Chains A and B, each alone.
Chain A
Amino acid sequence: MKLTYPHMGNLYIVVRALLTSLGLDLVLPPPTSRRTAELGVRYSPEFACFPFKLNLGNYLEAEELGADTILMAGGVGPCRFGYYAQVQREILRDLGVDMEMVVLEPPDVGYRELTDKVRYLVGDCSWWRVVKSIRFAWQKALALDNVERELLYLRPRVLEPNSLEKRYRTAVEEIDAAPDSRAISRAVQEFFKTSRRMPQRQGRFLRVGLVGEIFTVLEPFANYDLERRLGRLGVQVERSIWLSAWINDHLFGGLLRVKGGLKHADRLASPYLNSFVGGHGRETVGGAVACALQDCDGVIQVAPLTCMPEIVAHSVLPSVSRDYGIPTLTLYLDEQSGEAGIQTRLEAFVDLMAARRRKGKGGMLDGSFSGY
């Protein structure tokens, strides 16, 4: 069995740590690229969300490298993600692509189905080893978030962002390759030590909150490298979604104390959005309020085009904007979004935030700064 799974930012490292330490044979798709998007778009329904199309592209590219089994998560709505795998399976079958799909569904009736699937994958590996592997993968998730957080902080500050990004990539590769927890923390320490010593600008930097649907937030290809663009425009990005917090909320039931959990965001959303709406809709609204409370200069919401929960969130964001005097920008992304258009809108938004900062906040804000 040669197992593959779709990309979402750095998630592949965490999952790889888990699955290889369970003794599974992996064939990862190459990093998501234009070609991935082209393949995915060609065979996907036109109005499916961007993640759906990129997933499908990932599978097809992995198949070329010899993968024969897909590992995918499921869900029970109301977001479309829960039915991705079912439709993708039909598409692959019609294409004549012979791949098996193992979909990990949240327990609907009992845990039996889920544990059966895990059993199927891991063979006769002991549950103790499974637990140990999960712990190891979790350490990698935390390490990745730590270096990434540092990257977001330093990017607008350092004089040589290229060299900072190179160090970051090295650190990520080292974490990926780390065979044990000692090697993981060594990689993190090394990155902290060298990057903090880089020559930096002084002063206060614009801070923008990044909220929205998880895949478009975490996958740089899907958001057209938004964080990098903002960093280079001199903006510090405060992200609302972190891999480790997400894993904690969804897989560990929120048991661990991790920065940026869901419950807080839900509470903050309540005057504007009083119900969960699936996906990350409520977290987006709560995240925007949290950014305003942390004195950010603006909020950027990213979402795949036609994403239902984010459309609901987007619809109520002007109220947040009005009440807290914080400008918001919403970007819907898919294969049609142009790089130049995104860059222009980001620059305009940064200009707007900078002008507001100069005049003192509260000036010249008229509703939200939204649209394509």
Chain B
Amino acid sequence: MKKVGIPRALLYYYFYPLWREFFTGLGVQVVVSPETNKRIMDAGVKVTLSEVCLPVKIFFGHVIALADDVDYLFVPRIIKVEPRAYICPKFMGLPDMLRARIPDLPHLLETAVDMRKEETDPFRCWENCFQEVGRLITRDKRLVEEATRRAFRAQQNFQRQLAAGLLLPQALEEGNTGEVEVAVVSEQSALRIGLLGHPYNLYDRYISMNLIGKLQDLGVSPVTPESLSVQDIENKVGSLPKRLFWTLGKRMVGAALNFFADTRLDGLIYLSSFGCGPESLVEELVARWAKQQGGLPLMLLTIDEHTGEAGMNTRLEAFTEMIKRRRIK
């Protein structure tokens, strides 16, 4: 059986169920790289430019971790996954960057994902991509169609689970039942902190230094942006003076605006990677609005490959302590 490799990085955190179902539907074995570790990060840092952001460096590390074991690597060139909004230029050049920096890669499945203006179904943009990729793997057109349908269903299911409150890492697990576990911290005294940040930073336990786990240990129940529905996000960003043309930035701003309005929250933590282009502007807006509205304390955490864990712990403890005191008053 042919093996297709999917790096556990970047948009894996958004689209893995879609990709997994598509390839298994074609009868291909899907191999996902292991969770990020120091070796993966170091391998990525070694082959990339120092100016590249940490998540992209780590993506390269995951590709290297997979390269020898698979026949294909799935690295779609993501231009637009919704009309009139991009991810980031680096996603558009990812296959080219890989080819230029890593010798002897397995065959790259790199078709472009470019949603057209008039399309409304959020998954339609993947259809052409899947058709093209499917042709490389099988001649059976019906099989490709069937696999695509299955993939769309899996992705919808995944998003429903997120909206129902399941944390993203659990929702990504294969064969999860879809039953939402009730959050462990249910006492009234528990602090609730909203998290902002790209999923590939928040949910990669190595990049985020297990931010979510650490907060839970401090008695905080974290509220993630993924628990907000697309509609919640769109409603809020619709009021901006100018449409945001970054898909991820839009999610960030939309989540922040929702969190500002959420009276049950005690604070916000914004996790971003050093040198992230769109973030440098989006984060600035969020920080300014937070100050203008004055309600919620906000802490910005910027990470890169040199960030120390002790510093992170100290800041998290100080922040939660500050919020607790604020609440007593």
Q: Give me the interface of A with B, judged by CB distance under 8 Å.
A: 45-49, 74, 76-80, 82-87, 90-91, 94, 103, 105, 108, 272-279, 281, 305-309, 311-319, 332
Query: Which partner residue on chain A sits nearest B85 by CB separation?
Result: A77
CB proximity of A253 to chain B, nearest CB, Å: 19
For residue A269, which residue of chain B has the nearest CB?
B96
Q: How far is the CB of B275 from chain A (nearest CB, A)?
A: 5
CB closest chain-B residue, reference A77? B245
Q: Which residues of A contact B96 (CB under 8 A)?
A: 272-275, 312, 315-316
CB distance from B289 to the nearest CB of A (A): 8
Given contacts A86-B285, A314-B51, contact A46 B89 (CB under 8 A): no
Q: Enumerate 8 A-B pairs (CB-CB under 8 Å) in ascending A order.
A: A45-B283, A47-B276, A86-B285, A94-B288, A274-B77, A279-B89, A315-B97, A332-B51
Instruction: Tell me whether A306 and B280 are in contact in the complex, defined as CB-CB below 8 angstroms, given that A47-B275, A86-B242 are known contacts.
Output: yes
B97→A48 contact, CB < 8 A: no
Given A82-B245, A275-B79, A278-B86, are A87 and B93 also a contact pair (CB < 8 Å)? no
Decide yes or no: A312 and B90 within 8 Å by CB, A274-B95, A305-B51, A318-B100 being known contacts: yes
Taking CB atoms, residues of chain A closer than 8 Å to B276 are 47
Q: Check if B122 is an interface residue, CB within 8 A of chain A.
A: no
Max chain A C-beta neighbours (<10 A), residue from B52, B112, B281, B285: B281
Question: Does B133 touch A at the CB level, under 8 Å?
Answer: no
A276-B92, A318-B100 known; A311 and B242 CB under 8 Å? Answer: no
Q: Collect the chain A residues with CB atoms within 8 Å of residue B92's CB.
A: 78, 275-278, 312
Q: Is the CB of A273 within 8 A of B93?
A: yes
By a beta-carbon cutoff of 8 Å, the part of chain B in contact with chain A is 48-49, 51-52, 77, 79, 84-90, 92-93, 95-97, 99-101, 112, 240-246, 274-281, 283-285, 288, 292
- Identity of the chain B residue whose Cβ is nearest the Cβ of A322 in the assembled complex: B100
Assess the A316–B275 pair: CB atoms within 8 A: no
A78–B90 Cα distance when bound, in Å, is 10
* Central interface residue in B77, B240, B283, B285, by most chain A CB within 10 Å: B285
- Give which listed residue, B88, B97, B241, B243, contacts A78 with CB less than 8 A: B88
Contact between B86 and A311, CB atoms less than 8 A apart: no
By a CB distance below 8 angstroms, the chain B residues around A319 are 99-100
A318–B100 CA distance with the chains assembled, in angstroms: 7
List chain B residues, Cβ under 8 A from A332. 51
B277 touches A307 (CB 8 A): yes
By the criterion CB–CB under 8 Å, are B246 and A78 in contact? yes
Q: Contacting A83 at CB < 8 Å: which of B52, B87, B242?
A: B242
**Best-buried of B93, B242, B278, B288 by chain A (most CB within 10 Å):** B93
Known contacts A275-B79, A275-B112, A332-B51; A80 and B280 CB within 8 A of each other: yes
Q: In the complex, what's the smallest C-beta–C-beta distance from A270 to chain B, in angstroms? A: 10
Q: Is the CB of B97 within 8 A of A312?
A: yes
Supposing A90-B285, A90-B288, A311-B49 touch, asked if A80 and B277 sit within 8 A by C-beta, the answer is: yes
Chain B residues within an 8 Å CB radius of A309: 89
Contact status A316-B100, CB under 8 Å: yes
- A86–B241 Cα distance when bound, in Å, is 8
Contact B277 A308 (CB under 8 A): yes
Contacts of A78 in B (CB 8 A): 86-89, 92, 245-246
- Given A76-B84, A90-B288, A308-B100 contact (CB < 8 Å): no
- Other than the given A78-B86, A105-B242, A318-B100, 13 more pairs (CB < 8 A) read A45-B283, A49-B280, A76-B245, A77-B246, A83-B245, A86-B242, A87-B281, A90-B285, A94-B292, A274-B95, A275-B92, A312-B90, A312-B97
Q: Which chain B positions have C-beta within 8 A of A86?
A: 240-242, 281, 285
Q: How far is the CA of A32 from the CA of B86 in the complex (A)?
A: 32
> What is the CA–CA distance of A104 and B97 in the complex, to the nearest angstrom?
33
- Residues of A near B100 (CB, < 8 A) are 272, 315-319
User: Which single member of B87, B97, B241, B242 contacts A316 (CB below 8 Å)?
Assistant: B97
Nearest residue (CB) in A for B280 is: A47
On whether the beta carbons of A83 and B244 are closer than 8 Å, the reply is yes
**A77-B85, A79-B89, A275-B92 are known contacts. Are A306 and B288 too (CB-CB below 8 A)?**
no
Q: How far is the CA of A203 from the CA of B266 in the complex (A)?
A: 72
- Min CB distance B128 to A, Å, is 15
Q: How far, in angstroms, from A307 to B278 measured CA to CA in the complex?
A: 10
- Minimum C-beta distance from B122 to chain A (A): 19
**Distance (whole angstroms) from the CB of A195 to the closest CB of chain B:** 39
Cα distance A165–B162 in the bound complex, in angstroms: 63
Residue of B nearest to A319 (CB): B100
Shortest beta-carbon distance from B274 to chain A in Å: 8
